[in-house]
A and B are shown apart, each in its own frame.
Chain A
Amino acid sequence: MKLDARIPEGPIADKWTEYKGHVPLVSPANKRRIDVIVVGTGLAGSSAAASLAELGYNVKAFCFQDSPRRAHSIAAQGGINAAKNYQNDGDSVFRLFYDTVKGGDYRSREANVHRLAEVSTSIIDQCVAQGVPFARDYGGQLDNRSFGGVQVSRTFYAKGQTGQQLLLGAYSALSRQIANGRVKMYHRHEMVDVVTVDGKARGIIAKNIVTGKLERHSAHAVLLCTGGYGNVFFLSTNAMGSNVTAAWRAHKKGAFFGNPCFTQIHPTCIPVSGEHQSKLTLMSESLRNDGRIWVPLHKEDAQAIREGRLKATDLPEEKRDYYLERRYPAFGNLVPRDVASRAAKERCDEGHGVNATGEAVYLDFASAIERYGKEQANLKGLHNPTQEQIIDLGTQAVEAKYGNLFQMYEKITDDNPYRTPMMIYPAVHYTMGGLWVDYNLMTTVPGLFALGEANFSDHGANRLGASALMQGLADGYFVAPYTVGDYLSNDIRTGTIPTDSPEFDAAEKAAEERQQAFLDAKGTTPVDVFHRKLGKIMWDECGMARSAEGLKKAIADIRALREEFYKDVRVPGQREGLNIELDKAARVADFMELGELMCLDALTREESCGGHFRTEYQSEDGEALRDDAKFTHVAVWEHQDGDPGKSVRHQEELNYENVKLITRSYK
C-alpha cells in the first residue's frame, strides 16, 4: 500500500486556505442523513462532536468515564499556545510553526504543523466566547506565560487548571448539542472494536460498562479521539483509565501506526515513593518559568541529603549545581522536555540524586519568591522592606500563580514547597506516536479518522509544552469539520448503515470471544500485576535511554509475559453486569501488544531524536545525534497476522521546504 499524505499543493501559508476554499460541501439536508461516531470526549472529541453536530450531522459520542467532562484532558495544567502575539514579543504564525517543528526535532509534517499554528488564534477567541476564564492582567486583557523550548510568551492559562477550563468549555458546547438532540451521548461505554464494511469504517462495537452488553453502532465515519497510550508504562501522569484499546483495535483492523516509540518523558513530576504507587503526578512545566533546577555539586553532599543528614536549604550557592543553566545558558531552565529529562537522569545516574531512591532533583522557588517579593514591595511603595516582608509578599505572588500546584505537591509529599525546594523526577507523560493520519486526519482505513493525542501528526519526536491542548482543539473545532465533510461528501446517497450485516455479526462475535477468553483463563494472578511487570520492562528498556541490546531483550520479555498472561490471568465475575477487572484485562492485553511494537520501532530507528534516545547515537557531550540522511521519515507500521512481531515498516518521507534542518541547540 502506498502512503499518501494528501498534502495540498502550493506555498505552505496558503495550503489550508486553498483547501478550505475548494473542499466539497455537504448540503444541510444531506447532513441530516449522515451519521458520525466520535469516540472520546476530551478536547479533541468534545470539540469535534459539538462542531459536527452544529453543522447538522447526527453524532453519537462515547466515553468510558461516567461523564464526558471527566476525559483526561481535564488534568492538563499549564496552558495552551496560540500565536496571538498580544505581548508584541516577536511571535507570529510562522514562529509558532517553526518552534513546533524544531521542538519536534524535525520529525513532524510541515503542512500539518503550519495549519495548527494558523488556527491557534481562533481557538483562544472561541474559548473566550464560550466563557473560559483565562487569566487576565489588571487591564482586563489576557495574560501569557512562557513554556519550554521557546523564547516568546504565547501560552494562555487558567492558573494550573487550563485543561479543566478548556475541557469544560468544550463540554459545554457538547452539552448544548446533546440538549438539542443532535448528539446522542453514551457515557460509561467502551469501544472494543471498529467495524469495517467494504474496507470502510462503518461503525463500532461498544461495551456498556454497567450492563456488560455489547452494542452495535453504525455510522458513515468514525472519529477516534481516544487520547494517548502512556499507561503502557503502568506508571505515568495519565489518568488510570487512559488506554490504547480503541487505537490498537483500529490498528489491527488496518489503520497503520505512526512512530509508536515516540514517548514524552516529562521532566517535572513528583518522584516515585514506593511499590504501591498507582500513578505519577505532574508538576506543570510552567513552574520552570520561576523554579530553578539543581542538584548538589558534590556527591558527598547529595549522599548526606539522601541519608537525611543535610537539608537542601543548608547548602550554600557555591555547592549547588544549576546544571541546566550551566549546560544550556541560552534557554537555561526552559530547555525542551526531552533535554531537561535526560539531563536530570544523567545527574542522578552520576550519584547526585537527592531523595532516598537517588532519583530526584530539586526545583527551587527561593529566588523567584525573593524577586517577586521585591517587585511587590516596590509596587506597594515599601522602600526598605525587611527580608521577612519580601518573603511574605513573594510567597503570595507565587501562590497566586501556582497555588493549586503547590497545594497538590504538599498533599502528596507532606513537604511545604514554599519553604523547601520541591523534589522532582521525569515521568512518562505523553505519546507523540499514534495512528498515522494524512493531512485530512484520516487513517489508512477510509472513513476512520484520528484526532488529538490519538494521532501521530504534529509533534514529531518531542512535543513542546502547551501544544497538545492546542492540537486537540484545533483538530476538533477547526480541522475535522472540513476534512470529515470532504470525505462524507461522497456518502450522501448511502443511507443508514445497517447493523445486522455479517461484518457487524463477526465483529461482535470476536469481541465476545475475546472477553470470554480472559474469564476462561481462570489463572491466579490479577491483571494489575501483569500491567506493572509490562510497565517495568518498558521503563527500563524503552524509556529515557534505549539500546539495541535492551530493546531486543524487552521484546523477548514482553512476548513471554503475554503468553503467561493468557494462561495465568485471573478475572473474577462474568461478562454480564459491571466487571471492571474484565475491562482492565482487555486494555492490558492490548498494551502488551503495543509495547512490543514500540520496542520494535525504537529498535529500527537507529538514531537519537527528541524523546527517542538511543545510547549508541550520542555526541561526546551526551547530546542526541540525529541521522537525517537515513531517518527523516515517519515510521509507519502495518499490522499482520495478529502478531505485532510481524508488523511491516513503511515510511512516509518528510520534506522540509520551509524550515532548514539543523542540529537542535539550546546552548
Chain B
Amino acid sequence: MNLTLQIWRQNGPQDAGRTVTYPVSNVSPDMSFLEMIDELNIDLIKKGEEPIAFDHDCREGICGMCSMFINGEAHGPDRGVTTCQLHMRTFKDGDTITVEPWRAKAFPVIKDLMVDRSAFDRVIQAGGYISVNTSGNTLDANAILVPKADADAAFDAATCIGCGACVATCKNASAMLFVSAKVSQLALLPQGKVEAAERVQNMVRQMDLEGFGNCTNTGACEVECPKGISLENIARMNREFLSASLTH
C-alpha cells in the first residue's frame, strides 16, 4: 500500500507546531500502525532528519502508553483497540491519514505525538487505593466472600489502561470515564467500601484541579475507549459522589 501521512510535529511545549506531510510506500497490511511509523522513522534517520517522537511500550494494548489521534479518532478508526493494536489492513491503498497527539489542557504536548499524562497519576494519588499496609498480615484472601457478579464488574472497571483516549475524545476534555473506572472498581469490592466516600471526593477534587473539563454525557469516551469501559461507571461515580456529599 502507498499512503500519505499528515503528522503533527511540535518541537516542545512552547513550539506552535505544524502538520508535515510524509508519503510512505510498501506498507504491508499485516503491519501495526506503530510498525509503519517505525519504518518511516528509519527512513527519516537515514535522510538525516529527526524521527517522530511518540509514546509506546508493550505494543499489545495493555500498558496504555501509545496514544495517537488518527483521522480524528483516538486510537484510530478500529474499535476496541489501542494505537499499537491498529493494523494497516484497516486502511486502503492511497489513503491520506492524519496523526495528531492527544489534545487536552491537562495533557500538555512534550514533543510531536508525546504528551504529559502525569495528571492521571496525581488523580490516583489523591485516593485511588485502599489504605491497607503492605505487611501481608491481612485477612485470609477467602475470608470475605465477594459475589461473582461484583468481582466481575470490579474487574471490568479495573481493566482501564490509563491511556487517556477518553479525555482526548471528549469535547470538554473530561476525565470522568477514567476516574469513574477506579472509583467503581473499589466501590464494588467490600475491601474498598470502607473509604469509598472520602475516595470519590478526593479524586474528583484532584480531577478538577488538574484542569479536566466537565462531563456533559455525550458518551463519546465510551465509544473510543479501547477497553470498553462502560458509561455505567460514570453513573455509579455520580451516585457515590452524591451520597458522599450528603453524608460528609
Contact = CB atoms under 8 A, between A and B. Distances in A.
Does B associate with A?
Answer: yes
Interface of A: 47, 50-51, 54, 65-70, 72, 74-75, 84, 86, 119, 122-131, 133-142, 158-159, 161, 163-165, 168, 171-173, 175-176, 178-179, 185, 187, 210, 239-241, 273-274, 276-279, 281, 407-408, 411-412, 414, 477-478, 481, 524, 526, 528-529, 570, 572-573, 577-578, 580-581
A618 B168 CA distance: 56
Contacts of B120: 67
B142 A176 contact: no
B57 A65 contact: yes
B38 to A, nearest CB: 6
Given A70-B64, A172-B130, A581-B51, A123 B87 contact: no
Given A70-B65, A130-B130, A164-B159, A581 B59 contact: no
B129 A176 contact: yes
Contacts of A274: 28, 30-31
B197 to A, nearest CB: 16
Contacts of B118: 66-67, 187
Contacts of A122: 136-137
B134 interface: yes
Contact of B134 (A139, A414, A477, A580): A477
Given A176-B131, A478-B136, A411 B63 contact: no
B140 A125 contact: yes
Interface stretch (B92-100, B145-153, B215-223, B233-241): B145-153
A573 B50 contact: yes
Interface in B41-70: 41-42, 45-46, 48-51, 53, 55-65
Interface in B7-41: 12, 28, 30-32, 34-36, 38-39, 41
Contacts of A481: 134
Contact of B51 (A86, A412, A572): A572
A126 B118 CA distance: 27
Q: What 5 A-B pairs have minimum CB-CB distances, sorted nearest first?
A: A140-B145, A122-B136, A172-B129, A133-B155, A129-B138
A577 B154 CA distance: 41
B191 interface: yes
A161 B35 contact: no
A126 B34 contact: no
21 contacts: A70-B57, A70-B64, A70-B162, A119-B136, A131-B129, A131-B191, A133-B152, A136-B146, A136-B147, A140-B146, A159-B155, A164-B62, A165-B158, A178-B121, A240-B58, A279-B59, A281-B60, A408-B61, A526-B41, A526-B45, A526-B46
Contacts of B151: 133-136, 140
Interface of B: 12, 28, 30-32, 34-36, 38-39, 41-42, 45-46, 48-51, 53, 55-65, 78, 80-81, 85, 87, 89, 110-111, 114, 116-118, 120-121, 124-126, 128-142, 144-148, 151-152, 154-155, 158-159, 161-162, 185-186, 189, 191-192
B86 to A, nearest CB: 9
A144 B63 CA distance: 25
B65 A65 contact: yes
Given A65-B65, A67-B162, A133-B185, A528 B38 contact: yes
Nearest to B146: A140
Contacts of B48: 570, 572
Given A54-B134, A66-B65, A239 B189 contact: no
A175 B122 CA distance: 8
B169 to A, nearest CB: 19
A27 B169 CA distance: 51
A573 B148 CA distance: 54
Nearest to A210: B110
A273 B30 contact: yes
Contact of A240 (B53, B56, B161): B56
Contact of A173 (B58, B129, B137): B129
Contacts of A577: 12, 111
A126 B128 contact: no
Contacts of A239: 57-59, 63
Contacts of B147: 136, 140
